[in-house]
A and B are shown apart, each in its own frame.
Chain A
Amino acid sequence: MADAATLGPELPVGARGRNSVGWLGMLCLIGTEASLFAYLLFSYAYFLVRFGPAWLPTRHPSLLLAGPNTLILLASSVAVWWGEGGARQGRRGRLLAGLGGAIALGLLFLTVQIFEWKAKAFTLTSSAYGSFYFTITGFHMAHVVVGVTILAVVFAWSAAGDFTPRRHEPVVISSAYWHFVDVVWLVVFTAFYIAPYLTAAP
């Protein structure tokens, strides 16, 4: 054995919140997913520009379900953020309550969204607008399903006591994904539900 007297600097070991490679990996994933939605919305905008506002359905979309549903999704982000604070402070009850609340709100969003889909007068194949509406909101729904699944797995790990105030990067990383899914919805919601009110008279 060689002389072991010299020691390097004091260094943290293993993943540690935002100092982990997993956090950067998630940021890259969010970047590429954001690009995907950007191309989707670009395609939608391309149709709008090429065909003009008359291409939109004659009646503006109802905000009756979609408006409150947006608030539900935003509330779920707040819940995750609050739960993450619990993980940082070692309060497992708060972590579980935050994650559980977010999962419940996410499932509620999905349920309302299915009613919203059923209420539409057009279908995936009845018009190009319908193709875009259901494809883009469908892409977002798929992301919500994945996000809820991730939160559920993290919830189970939290309940099993796998996380400590110092080590809980799955909580940090999955909540970043969840916030991203919410932000994407705000953009999709603006494009499909708000923008028509700004462009043309019904």
Chain B
Amino acid sequence: MTAWESSRRPRIVRVDGDFPGARLTRIWETEPGLKGWLSSVDHKEIGKRYIITALIFLVLGGVEALVMRLQLAGPDQHVLTPEQYDQLFTMHGVTMIFLYAAPILTGFSNYLWPLLLGSRDMAFPRLNALSYWVYLAAGLFMYAGFVTGQGPDDGWFNYVPYASRAFSPGINIDVYALGLILLGISTTVGSVNFVVSFLRTRAPGMSIDRVPILTWGTLTASVANLLAVPSVSLAFFLLWMDRQFGTHFFGASQGQPLLWQHLFWMFGHPWVYAIVLPAMGMVSDALPAFCRRPLVGYTPVALSTVGTMALGFGVWVHHMFATGLPSLALSFFSGASLIITIPSAVAVFAWTATIWTGRPVIRTAFLFFASMIVLFVIGGVSGVMTASTPVDWQLTQTYFIVAHIHYVLIGINVFPVVGAVYYWFPKMTGRLLDERLGQVNFWTMFIGFNLGFFPMHLLGLMGMPRRIYTYGADMGWSSMNMVVSLGSFLFAVGILLLFINIAISLKRGRIAGPDPWGAPTLEWSVPSPPPPYNFAVIPTVESRHPLWEHWLEETPARSRLDEGLLLDRGRETIGTTALDGEPNLILEMPADTIAPFALAGGLAVTFVGALFHAWWLAGLGGAVVAASLVAWFWPRRVHADMDKADG
């Protein structure tokens, strides 16, 4: 019936000119045209789409912020009505936290993981495509609400009872609820993919103490997502039930409004770490390349990454100190919030020591990574302050908190991400970004950011509440708000310079070659941009720094990069054991397929149907989802034999 080959001994070959690349290109490349584009499951393609889409959302969220800063630049302004201001600050938060901060890191991880791990793709390439399409659908879903004036308008954490139907009768909150559940599906399938890829697709010899820190960061975030995302999806589902079907979960009379805050922050706090740990991982991997020495304290950094997240599940109540909970609960969560600074700070000391004991080469990427340490410390200190309950009582719901969250999220997400763009852009495109413009780019962003956000601490201490749409001239906040607005526009100019640099360098940037930085990890051993199959032969890894072994001389063993397993009977990569990275399986990878796109489309239709109670439409979408899934999992009866096709 079938000609399945149950096992084989793959050939070990040496890379020689076009061999075996030409043949592998035929096997792995995506066919041109729209169908190929919609069907591609190449992790590099998906990663780039993630990054570009997330950057577009960054611009949208940034423009929203700038409009708000126009409104707040002086007292009693009328640029916006209060209702418009509500939608703007809500969409700004939703966009930056859900549609930019996490997806941009997913994009980098999608692009980089197989290259870092010595694999030809992720464990589930089609799931990768699905994750992207659903993310895009969720973003369009929420923005469709926004542009029609029906966008979320109750703040990104959407507290009840404001968000209940009695006080928010439009479909605004339903758009948010269903949009975020849809996004949760994307996050979940993406996380499954990272967890399994970490466990099974590392190159032979890459035991778990040899993986780059970025993979620890993304793995930790992914495990946390699997455990935490159901909480927020459920909270929004129950809220939607309350609003549409009259259940009694969060209502003031029969329900428990405070349960909303518990469910939201049981998700929300781990999520904060999920959107910074992978970025910290990028710094841990890229900073050493500019310091010309390995990261100081690999093991403590990896362990503290996991430890931070573990503790991160036990601090959610510090978002709820002012809700009248018993003081025993406040003490416990206050203590946990203070303790979490210990694992969080390990990486800071590790980076500082790496710079201190290294020979830093000052490039734009280095500036972004090094400045991130400073911003992290400032954001961390304001976090420690508000971990103390009495201080939090004074400062909660003021601009001090706005300053804190922005120092943390821009400091530990945006700055590392822009640094990562400078660092990995040559790998993705084959060209370097312009260095001189890059330095201007950095200093504009750094000065603009601190000018825009540091005074917010003071505004908060002076009592300016967050989320007010205007203020009176007699409050004494006017001049400082003007400074904040000027700083935020300067920061925006910095971001604009990044895009200008990208636009110029895509065409005219210096050719990078495989390894422009003299960096230690596997992605720099392949051409820039990498071929569709990533690695012509599967590398064998003997240390954490496969490309630095010749001068580090930590061990006599040498990684083998141009000689290894040739897997060329269709799309194949090596499956290895979870801890030691011993080969134990040849993984057959799926071909390009339209199924993920169709599935995501079906899901989107289902959610649109649910939004408008058009159940026939929801049913139609559900049928598309089911059909896509059956096609997806259809067993492969015949395995294409590429040898025959090639003659």
Contact = CB atoms under 8 A, between A and B. Distances in A.
B7 A124 contact: no
B229 A8 contact: no
Given A36-B233, A161-B1, 12 more contacts: A6-B13, A12-B586, A13-B586, A20-B585, A35-B226, A35-B231, A46-B259, A124-B246, A125-B248, A128-B248, A128-B255, A153-B630
A4 B6 CA distance: 21
A157 B422 CA distance: 50
B227 interface: yes
Given A14-B586, A14-B639, A125 B247 contact: yes
A2 interface: yes
Contact of A35 (B193, B227, B238): B227
B330 interface: no
Contact of A43 (B19, B238, B588): B238
B229 A32 contact: yes
6 contacts: A8-B9, A11-B9, A24-B199, A25-B127, A46-B259, A125-B248
Q: Which of B1, B233, B247 has its CB near the most chain A CB atoms (within 10 A)?
A: B247
B230 A39 contact: yes
Interface of B: 1-2, 4-14, 16, 19, 123-124, 127, 188, 191-193, 195-196, 199-201, 226-231, 233-234, 238, 241, 245-249, 254-256, 259, 262-263, 266, 565, 574-575, 583-588, 626, 630, 633, 635, 637, 639
A3 B247 CA distance: 71
Interface of A: 1-4, 6-16, 19-21, 24-25, 28-29, 31-33, 35-36, 38-40, 43, 46-47, 50, 124-125, 127-128, 130-132, 135, 149, 153, 157, 161-164, 166-167, 170
A128 to B, nearest CB: 4
A62 to B, nearest CB: 23
A125 B246 contact: yes
Contacts of A32: 188, 191-192, 226-227, 229-230
A135 B19 CA distance: 59
Given A7-B11, A135-B247, A128 B231 contact: no
Contacts of B127: 25
Contacts of B5: 13
A135 B241 contact: yes
B586 A149 contact: no
Contact of A10 (B7, B226, B228, B229): B7
Nearest to B231: A39
Contact of A6 (B11, B191, B199, B231): B11
A130 to B, nearest CB: 8
B514 to A, nearest CB: 21
